[in-house]
Amino acid sequence: MTTEKQRPHPGDPPGCGPDRHGARTGDAHERRGSLAVMFFWGGIWLFWMIQPFVDAVQRIDTPRGMLGVLVVPAFCVVYLWHFYARREIFIQAARPGCRMTLPAWDLLRYGLMGLLAVACVVTVGQNGYTAAVFFALSALWTFTPLVGWGVVVAVALGYMVLWQAADWRQDWSMFVGLGFGALAITVGRVAGRRQRQLQESQQVNAELMVQQERNRMARDLHDILGHSLTVITVKAELAGRLLDADATERARAEVADLETLSRTALADVRRAVEGYREISLSGELTRAREALAAAGIEARTPTALDQVPADLVELFAWTVRESVTNVLRHSRAQHCVITVTPRALTVADDGVGGPEVSPSGNGLRGLRERANASGAVLITKSEMPHGFSVTVAVREDEHVTRPTTAQVARSPEVRPT
């Protein structure tokens, strides 16, 4: 199955041609089916032109009757032609911001339809005014609503004038048909516009969800690989130094840790791609102690985490992972202290501070996005000449009481995620 290349239609006004939702794409079978449905709904109402044609046939022995037999079918053909030529405008007019324009050929065709409508009235008489009704209703999906309704009113007034001047019989059905037809088309256009706006909103929401998922994947992969590869690099350097110092057993242990870390990182990446990866604060603190110790950095970490709210555990865990990764990569620190309270977590070191530290890297930017999504704020602070800290804390305007991990563990109705 092939997809037709989108091409602008000669009658498409600016912004109303093929859109990003594929208004003109699809296979030939679908296009033929849509065309058949369109002609059905556009042509089914032409059965009202049967009576004018019958009147013309009954007068075929007169010049007007002979001309009417030709004019009535000609009007129907031009009407369908105009409906087909303006089909995209009729459909795309529901798009927000779409401007109705009328190319010269379409204007000439609509004018021809008007001349044929006049000819129907002249040759057939009162029943021939049905063509003028179709002419007026066509204006509602050819021009702007204001112009279209102007044509409808003009045709209605013209019928009233001819009713009196030509001594026609009193027939209100023409007004009823014109009024109901105009109302139906107007309501249809409004409903189509609302439907199109709904589709646009749904499409925008879908695109936002895709973008958010991409951002999540980017953050997760950066955090996972950045931390794991940093620890692997530190341990590889340590193993190399141990081999140079003939500390074979310790070097072998570090190499074994390297294998374990690489497998863990690979598993984390797979789980992140699948969307099922979990991260725990206690596990990140344990890995942080091990990684900092391997890099020769003295670490002080908390042991009690029961008072941390359950909905902040994951955010705090990501903060530990990203902050410790930065300590290992950039700080050249001797000490690292991690403190945890029910409302905040801080990772501080005594390494490089001041202008050498950039708080706007990809990792911290992703961490700031996570904090904002959790109703928290990320604060970075650089000390002169040494020291840098990262703090994530609940905003002051967050007054909701959050259940702690200990409360979640004791509650039969709440389970940690």
pTM of the model: 0.45
Give the chain's domains with CATH numbers. 28-171 (no CATH), 298-417 (3.30.565.10)
Going from the C-alpha of 254 to that of each of 24, 215, 236, 243, 259, the distances in angstroms are 61, 34, 7, 10, 9
324 in Cβ contact with 229 (< 8 Å): no
93 in Cβ contact with 192 (< 8 Å): yes
Give the pLDDT confidence of 58-71 residue by residue, as tens digits.
888 888 888 988 99
What is the mean pLDDT of each successive set of 10 residues along the chain, which is 417 residues long?
42 45 46 58 77 87 86 90 72 50 78 91 87 88 85 90 80 84 82 79 77 73 72 78 76 78 74 62 88 88 84 90 87 91 92 57 78 90 84 71 45 36
Instruction: Work out whether strand 298-300 and strand 344-352 pair parallel, antiparallel, or are unpaired.
Output: unpaired
Instruction: Work out whether strand 386-394 and strand 376-382 pair parallel, antiparallel, or are unpaired.
Output: antiparallel
Q: Which of 315, 298, 289 is nearest to 231 (CA)?
A: 289
H-state helical runs in 166-247:
173-244
Predicted pLDDT at 89: 57
Torsion of the alpha carbons at 26, 28, 33 and 36, rounded to the nearest 10: 120
Q: Quote the CA–CA distance of 188 and 177 in Å, as a whole number.
A: 16
Predicted pLDDT at 198: 82
Predicted pLDDT at 24: 43
Instruction: Work out whether strand 335-340 and strand 298-300 pair parallel, antiparallel, or are unpaired.
Output: parallel
Give the pLDDT confidence of 347-382 residue by residue, as tens digits.
999 887 644 445 555 678 888 888 888 889 999 988
Predicted pLDDT at 179: 85
Q: What single-letter DSSP state applies at residue 396?
A: T
Predicted pLDDT at 390: 93
353 in Cβ contact with 381 (< 8 Å): no
Predicted pLDDT at 153: 92
Predicted pLDDT at 344: 93
